[in-house]
Each structure stands twice: as structure tokens, then as C-alpha cells.
């Protein structure tokens, strides 16, 4: 019996390096934080990632955490949209559309904040 259990464990899918790098899940990963809700309320209606917040609160909370770190936020949004590992399932189409809209909005916000040449 124990040999069968060990054999079953050995045949399980191998752990890839990214799985070792992923942080452990926390209780708040399943909840939308108050600061995240505030950010959503202040975004233009067409940019509010409501489906993302409802279906993937951990991701929405991370967007909020990075909101004032422009380069880090852009990089994070890009990683959500591009499968660099080749194994990701991807977001549902409407959620991916919200992420793209948010990425475009952040890009426009960045350009608007750039100083104009004298």
C-alpha cells in the first residue's frame, strides 16, 4: 500500500522552477482589499477591472499595491498578458480585455505625466 502511494507521488507532474518561486497563498488573496476598492472607484468607468477584481482579487490587490510604482506596474500588467512560460491557461477573454484596457490607461497616464521638452 505504501509502495503504491510512493509510486503515485513519483508519477505526479514535476515541480517547475516558477512554482518554487511563487509566494505562499495568504488568506487575503481571496478578498478584495479596501484600498483596491477605492482605486477601482476612482478609475474611469471603462477602465475599471471589475471582472478581474471579482474573479482574481489577488491580482487586483497586486495592481493596487503597485499603482504608484509605474515601471513595476507596467511590468506586472505585461506579465499578466504574455505567457513567458508557455504553460499558462490565460485569463478569461473578458478579464484579459480589462487588463489590456488598464494597461493602455496606465500607459496614457504615464505619457501625460512626462515633462514636455522646452
How many structural domains does the chain have? 1
Domain that holds residue 90: 27-113
Own/partner long-range contacts of 87-93 (Cβ < 8 Å, ≥24 apart): 87/16, 91/52, 91/56, 92/51, 92/55
Residue with cell 506579465: 79
Q: Domain for residue 22, yes or no?
A: no
Q: What is the pLDDT of residues 26-69, one digit of tens each?
A: 777 889 999 999 999 999 999 999 999 999 999 999 999 999 99
Q: Domain for residue 40, yes or no?
A: yes
Determine how many CB atoms are found less than 10 A away from the CB of residue 114.
7
Q: Domain for residue 2, yes or no?
A: no
Q: C-alpha cell of 93?
A: 477573454
Q: What is the DSSP letter of 83?
A: -
If you average pLDDT over residues 90-94, what whole number do you get? 91
Task: Give the contacts of 101 (CB within 8 A, at least 6 positions apart).
Answer: 46, 47, 49
Q: Domain for residue 9, yes or no?
A: no
Q: Domain for residue 19, yes or no?
A: no
Res 1: pLDDT: 46
> Rounded to whole angstroms, how far apart are CA atoms 97 and 92?
9
Model-level pTM? 0.71
H or E, element range at 54: helix 50-55
Q: Buried (b) or exposed (e) across 18-57, using 16+ Cβ within 10 A? A: eeeeeeeeeeeeeebeeebeebbeeeeeebbbebbbeebb
Q: Domain for residue 118, yes or no?
A: no
Res 83: pLDDT: 73
Q: Domain for residue 8, yes or no?
A: no
Q: Domain for residue 67, yes or no?
A: yes
Amino acid at each position: 500500500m505504501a509502495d503504491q502511494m510512493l509510486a503515485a507521488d513519483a508519477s505526479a507532474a514535476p515541480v517547475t522552477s516558477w512554482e518554487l518561486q511563487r509566494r505562499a497563498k495568504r488568506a487575503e488573496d481571496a478578498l478584495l482589499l479596501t484600498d483596491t476598492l477605492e482605486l477601482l472607484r476612482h478609475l474611469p468607468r471603462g477602465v475599471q477591472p471589475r471582472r478581474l477584481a471579482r474573479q482574481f482579487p489577488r491580482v487586483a490587490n497586486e495592481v493596487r499595491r503597485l499603482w504608484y510604482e509605474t515601471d513595476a506596474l507596467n511590468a506586472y500588467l505585461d506579465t499578466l498578458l504574455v505567457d513567458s512560460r508557455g504553460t499558462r491557461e490565460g485569463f478569461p477573454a473578458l478579464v484579459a480585455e480589462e487588463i489590456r484596457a488598464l494597461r493602455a490607461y496606465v500607459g496614457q497616464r504615464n505619457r501625460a505625466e512626462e515633462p514636455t521638452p522646452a
